[in-house]
Amino acid sequence: MRRPAPPRREVVRLFIKEGGTVIDSSPMYGEAERVTGDLLADLGLQSKVFLATKVWTSGRESGIRQMSDSMRLLRAKKIDLMQVHNLSDTATQLRTLHEWKGAGKIRYIGITHYTASALDDLAEWIKRDPEIAFVQFPYSIAVLDAERRFLPFCADKGVATLVNRPYENGGLFRAVRGMKVPEWAREFGAATWGQFFLKYILSTLGVTCVIPATRKPKHLLDNMDAGRGPPAVRRRAAKNACALAESLAKRKNECDKKSGGGIHGCAPQKLDPLEIHSLKRAAQLERLGRVG
């Protein structure tokens, strides 16, 4: 067996030690399934994990081949959750997933997408197929679309939710580079930006699980800490969304001035997603009368 790089081994070991359970993969993610399977076997931790992966292809035979490969690479006799990745050939793959569930090869059926514009399509599939037990989609402090209708819809249907891209693929960290975590965030136990971003998601009604990606043990521990702490996070964070929006807007103005003067390293355009959405969010909260 090829031995995977030590930091990845440590990430998986610490993840389980700290109480993590769900590992999400896909044939789309290069060597991820093989590395996950090898590491879990090497660490003797297969039984501790809820394994989720995906089928990402067109056609029945191709889907069956791919899922069989996934089981071999992940070294699993049964996959806990098999998801149709990015709604690829959904009708065909769902038919096979029903058969595989009946045969005991998978425990649950899911569907995923990586864009908020697909939320309505995901909802349509959930309405059409009562066997869909999990749905995976993007949601973050910068991409709030899911909280309007989709998360309440999933809660109503009893469909479990997996939140992907919680850090906008790392973009949120670039947006707050050089900024301190607000003092008030410490009141609900968010000592770092990572914990702040994850706690915001985790305290939303309807969120079952959030799946940040990391290669670093230090970041893994940071992310796991976001799962701890008091439950009143969201109300507090929402109440202070205005303060965050103001500080981001101020920073952007400073960056604009500096970049006009030829100072590098400020990259004002990188602040845009968080700033715009935080401002939108703050305005929305003010309209709802939830900000004091």
> What does the binding site for ligand NAP look like in residue numbers (CB under 6 A)?
24, 85-86, 112-114, 136, 164-170, 173, 194, 211-216, 219, 222-223
DSSP, collapsed to helix, strand or coil, labels residue 214 as coil
Question: Which whole-number Å values give the CA distances from 156 to 133, 205, 278, in the listed order?
Answer: 12, 11, 27
CA distance 101 to 79: 10
Amino acid at 62: S
Shortest Å, Cβ 136 to ligand NAP: 5
CB of residue 261 vs ligand NAP: minimum separation in angstroms? 29
Least distance CB 24 / ligand NAP (angstroms):
4
Nearer to ligand NAP, 98 or 219 (CB): 219
Closer residue to ligand NAP in complex, CB, 50/173: 173
Q: What is the 3-state secondary structure (H, E, C) of 42-80?
A: HHCCHHHCEEEEEECCCCHHHHHHHHHHHHHHHCCCCEE
**Among residues 68 and 169, whose Cβ is nearest to ligand NAP?**
169
- Closest CB to ligand NAP among 162 and 242? 162
Separation CA 46–CA 138 (nearest Å): 27
Which CB, 32 or 282, lies closer to ligand NAP?
A: 32
Dihedral angle over CA of 97, 100, 102, 106, nearest 10:
-90
Cβ 85 to ligand NAP shortest distance, Å? 5
The bridge status of strand 132-138 relative to strand 209-210 is unpaired
Q: How far is the CB of 284 from ligand NAP (least distance, A)?
A: 23
